[in-house]
Amino acid sequence: MTTILGIHFILLGIGAFLLVFKAIYFGGVYDTWALGGRDIVSVDDLEDIIGGHVWLGSICILGGIWHILTKPFAWACCELVWSGEVYLSYSLVSLLAHYTRRFLSSSIYFSGLYSGLGSSL
Looking at residue 93, its pLDDT comes to 83
Burial of 57 (0-12, 13-18, 19+ CB in 10 A): buried
pTM assigned to the model: 0.60
Confidence of residue 58 (pLDDT cuts 50, 70, 90): very high
